[in-house]
């Protein structure tokens, strides 16, 4: 006799965690009682963090309904966490990841923590996990693996919004050096990101990576090959290319379509894998 899995509506617990001088905000999606598994979801940086909020929420809801406690959180200096824009730093994000893991482990009652990162969040997450000694389980959704390319894409998008999209027809000035896409960004963060090449990072042997892709580029190919050569299992899940948001398209910057099919596909794939 087969037994269907009964899904229950998740509970939502807003929480603040971390030290009083460096408080982070998160939202826990879970079922009542201890969980066997748990997942931290990492939002991308700058405007993409705002534009992807609904998609990450939907993934966390789906995971929690299947019994996987899920934590979405704001990096220090972003969202509802403490700190000004310029407080966002690579070292700070690495600390935030560990704090998020600890907070989720305590509230879910499990040390079996999985990770999911969207777009630019892949860079700090991979730096963080490459320093671990035990195997890790993670999903990288449309990951950006070159820090140099990432920063250049931000500057290109900023220029396109000011001068090419028609959004600001009277703009005739150059942006401030620390201004990017409506955020004040510290130069040290940009320098630290430019120095990152995630294709050169090595995850612990025995780790499992799911690449959730609309399309693969050369960085993805190099990353996959390098990880497999060092004993890491890499699985690729292809999403419908027509569902991909126009992240770099200036005219779609403020009206991103919710990638409904891709979110459903990712939720189904993660659930079936568990």
pLDDT tens, residue by residue, 56-86: 999 999 999 999 999 999 999 999 999 999 9
Sequence-distant (6+) residues with CB within 8 A of 79 are 25, 43, 49
pLDDT of residue 50 exceeding 70, the answer is yes
- CATH of 11-144+202-273 among 3.40.1190.20, 3.40.50.150, 3.40.50.80, 3.40.50.1820: 3.40.50.1820
Collapsing DSSP states into helix, strand and coil, what is residue 97? helix
Indicate the burial class of 202 (C-beta count within 10 angstroms; 0-12, 13-18, 19 or more). middle
pLDDT for the residue numbered 3: 44
How far is Cα 208 from Cα 228, in angstroms, rounded to an integer? 10
Dihedral (C-alpha) 75, 79, 83, 87: value to the nearest 10 degrees?
60
How far is Cα 19 from Cα 257, in angstroms, rounded to an integer? 37
Least trusted range by pLDDT, from 114-118, 162-166, 191-195, 237-241: 162-166
How far is Cα 124 from Cα 128, in angstroms, rounded to an integer? 6
Q: What are the residue ranges spanned by the domains of the chain?
A: 11-144+202-273
How far is Cα 157 from Cα 159, in angstroms, rounded to an integer? 5
Let me know: does 39 contact 95? Beta carbons within 8 Å: no
How far is Cα 268 from Cα 195, in angstroms, rounded to an integer? 35
CA 226 to chain centroid, in Å, comes to 21
How far is Cα 80 from Cα 101, in angstroms, rounded to an integer? 18
How far is Cα 68 from Cα 61, in angstroms, rounded to an integer? 9
pLDDT of residue 4 exceeding 80, the answer is no
Structure confidence by residue, pLDDT tens digits, 152-171: 999 999 888 887 756 666 66
Let me know: does 10 contact 86? Beta carbons within 8 Å: no
Let me know: does 35 contact 110? Beta carbons within 8 Å: yes
How far is Cα 151 from Cα 190, in angstroms, rounded to an integer? 7
Long-range contacts of 105-109 (CB under 8 A, 24+ apart): 105/38, 107/13, 107/15, 107/28, 107/30, 107/69, 107/71, 108/28, 108/30, 108/34, 108/35, 108/38, 108/69, 109/33, 109/34, 109/35
Collapsing DSSP states into helix, strand and coil, what is residue 160? helix
Structure confidence by residue, pLDDT tens digits, 127-157: 999 999 999 999 999 999 999 999 999 999 9
How far is Cα 165 from Cα 47, in angstroms, rounded to an integer? 16
Query: Binning pLDDT at 50, 70 and 90, where does residue 256 land?
Result: low
Q: Which residues pair with 141 in a beta bridge?
A: 118, 212
CA 230 to chain centroid, in Å, comes to 24
């Amino acid at each position: 006799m087969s037994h269907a899995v009964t899904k229950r509506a998740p509970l939502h617990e807003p929480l603040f965690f971390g030290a009083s001088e460096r408080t982070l905000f998160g939202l826990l999606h879970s079922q009542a009682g201890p969980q066997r598994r748990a997942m931290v979801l990492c939002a991308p940086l700058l405007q993409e963090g705002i534009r992807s909020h609904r998609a990450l929420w939907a993934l966390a809801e789906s995971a929690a309904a299947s019994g996987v406690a899920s934590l979405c959180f704001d990096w220090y200096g972003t969202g509802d966490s403490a700190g000004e824009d310029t407080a966002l730093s690579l070292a700070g994000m690495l600390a935030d990841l560990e704090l998020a893991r600890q907070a989720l482990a305590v509230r879910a009652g499990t040390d079996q923590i999985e990770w999911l990162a969207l777009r630019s969040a892949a860079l700090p997450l991979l730096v963080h996990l490459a320093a671990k000694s035990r195997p890790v389980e993670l999903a990288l959704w449309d990951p950006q693996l070159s820090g140099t390319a990432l920063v250049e894409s931000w500057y290109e998008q900023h220029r396109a919004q000011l001068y090419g999209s028609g959004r600001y027809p009277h703009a005739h000035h150059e942006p401030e050096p620390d201004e990017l896409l409506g955020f004040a960004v510290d130069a040290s963060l940009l320098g630290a990101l430019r120095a990152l090449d995630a294709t050169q990072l090595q995850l612990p042997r025995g780790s499992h990576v799911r690449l959730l892709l609309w399309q693969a580029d050369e960085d993805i190919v190099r990353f996959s090959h390098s990880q497999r050569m060092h004993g890491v299992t890499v699985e690729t899940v292809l999403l419908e290319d027509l569902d991909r948001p126009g992240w770099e398209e200036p005219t779609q910057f403020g009206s991103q379509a919710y990638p409904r099919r891709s979110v459903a596909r990712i939720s189904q794939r993660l659930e079936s894998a568990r």
